Amino acid sequence: MNKRLDYAKAAPEGYKAFGGVYLYLKKCSLPEELINLVYLRVSQINGCAYCIDMHSRDLLKQGLTVDKLVLVPVWREAGPVFGARERAALAWAETVTRVAETGVPQDDYAAASSEFNELELADLTYAIGLMNAFNRLGVAFRAAPAAAAAAGRA
């Protein structure tokens, strides 16, 4: 896979604007691990290798176990590995990411809002939207994951 364009260099103000949302989310009331789980799941759905690689590494650095990391794509079948708020966040991430298919049904909203207050749910949805945008940039412009870059140097 050949990189097509460095979007951060081509349009630095746009990249900086997305960075502002990213920085906001780093300071929001949601735990960083939860946000990174959501970033990872959204990236898995969208098939963004760069973001899957990055957020997997971030989660491992934060102390997430490999056992839990490998179960993110199948979190519904993972039993007690994921807590109630994590399951609600992952379900919300899936329905919002697949908005064209799901229309984000009322039942999905009710389930998410039963676990998160209004501010948290808004922040969670900002995180989902931001990652969907970054995934589209990464996939469209073929951003190379760190693992691929390391393999190329070997």
Residue range 66-84, pLDDT digits in tens: 999 999 999 999 999 999 9
Return the percentage of the chain with pLDDT > 70, whole number.
97
Phi/psi of residue 109, nearest 5 degrees: -65, -45
- Reduced to 3 states (helix: H, G, I; strand: E, B; else coil), residue 106 is helix
Assess if residue 10 is contained within a domain.
Answer: no
Assess if residue 52 is contained within a domain.
Answer: yes
Q: Is the pLDDT of residue 1 over 70?
A: no
Neighbours of 65 (CB within 10 A): 11
Quote the pLDDT of residue 154: 67
What is the domain count for the chain? 1
Assess if residue 6 is contained within a domain.
Answer: no
**104 φψ region: left (φ > 0), alpha (ψ -120 to 50), beta (else):** left
Assess if residue 154 is contained within a domain.
Answer: no
Q: What are the respective helix, strand and coil percentages of the chain, to the nearest 5?
A: 80, 0, 20
Assess if residue 56 is contained within a domain.
Answer: yes
* Each residue's pLDDT tens digit, 98-153: 999 999 999 999 999 999 999 999 999 999 999 999 999 999 999 888 877 776 66
Assess if residue 41 is contained within a domain.
Answer: yes
Mean per-residue pLDDT for 5-21?
95
Residue 34: domain span: 30-149
CATH at residue 57: 1.20.1290.10
Could you tell me the two tokens for 91? 């379900």
